């Protein structure tokens, strides 16, 4: 009797998902203000509202929270870790400094707080700027950097 055999073709699949990424869309800007005799704080919320505490005159013009676009695989959660240390802003002309701390975000920081509905989500970040006297913080542009970590869960 002759041996009978059959051959079948199997199929193999693999899917590459989008790379998890975070990009700054809008820079944090505390706006224009002037410190008085004792200084104080400028508080910028993730919703881009601003308030001042202490001896500070809030000037006119714009201010805005930082905005980051997080992208990756659809409907995946991620964690947000805000800075644990203050950031320093330095006056480009005089080298005088101010400190930024008390970071807040929407969605809130924490494990699994972000959700990539349709593969992306915006994260809004605010903070508090501590301002000295006019002698401590003379007029001029102050700038600095900070790091936020977004962990793909």
The answer to the question of residue 151 being in a domain is no
The answer to the question of residue 12 being in a domain is no
For 69-86, write each residue's pLDDT tens digit: 999 988 889 999 999 999
Whether residue 98 contacts residue 132, with contact meaning beta carbons closer than 8 Å, is answered with yes
Identify the domain containing residue 126 by its residue range: 21-146
For 84-117, write each residue's pLDDT tens digit: 999 999 998 999 999 999 999 999 998 888 999 8
Residue of 63, 54, 51, 56 whose CA lies nearest to 34? 56
Whether residue 89 contacts residue 95, with contact meaning beta carbons closer than 8 Å, is answered with no
What's the average model confidence in pLDDT over 131-143? 95
At residue 2, does pLDDT exceed 90?
no
97-106 and 110-115 strand pairing: unpaired
At residue 1, does pLDDT exceed 80?
no
The answer to the question of residue 44 being in a domain is yes
The pair of three-digit structure tokens given for residue 48, joined into one six-digit string: 């881009």
The answer to the question of residue 104 being in a domain is yes
Q: Find residue 126's DSSP bridge partners.
A: 104
Query: For residue 19, what pLDDT is reported?
Result: 77
Query: For residue 113, what pLDDT is reported?
Result: 86
Work out the angle at residue 126's Cα, subtended by the Cα atoms of residues 55 and 60, and round it to the nearest 5 degrees: 50
Give the chain's domain count. 1
The answer to the question of residue 3 being in a domain is no
| pTM for this prediction | 0.88
């Amino acid at each position: 009797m002759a041996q009978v055999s059959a051959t079948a073709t199997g199929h193999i699949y693999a899917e590459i998902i989008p790379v998890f990424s975070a990009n700054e869309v809008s820079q944090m800007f505390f706006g224009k203000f002037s410190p008085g005799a004792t200084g104080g704080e400028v508080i910028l919320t993730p919703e881009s509202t601003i308030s001042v505490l202490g001896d500070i005159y809030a000037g006119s013009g714009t201010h805005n929270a930082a905005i980051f676009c997080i992208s990756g695989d659809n409907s995946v959660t991620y964690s947000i870790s805000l800075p644990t240390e203050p950031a320093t802003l330095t006056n480009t002309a005089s080298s005088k400094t101010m400190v930024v701390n008390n970071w807040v975000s929407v969605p809130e920081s924490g494990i699994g707080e972000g959700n990539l509905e349709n593969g992306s989500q915006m994260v809004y970040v605010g903070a508090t700027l501590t301002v000295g006297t006019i002698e401590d913080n003379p007029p001029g542009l102050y700038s600095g950097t900070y790091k936020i970590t977004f962990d793909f869960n």
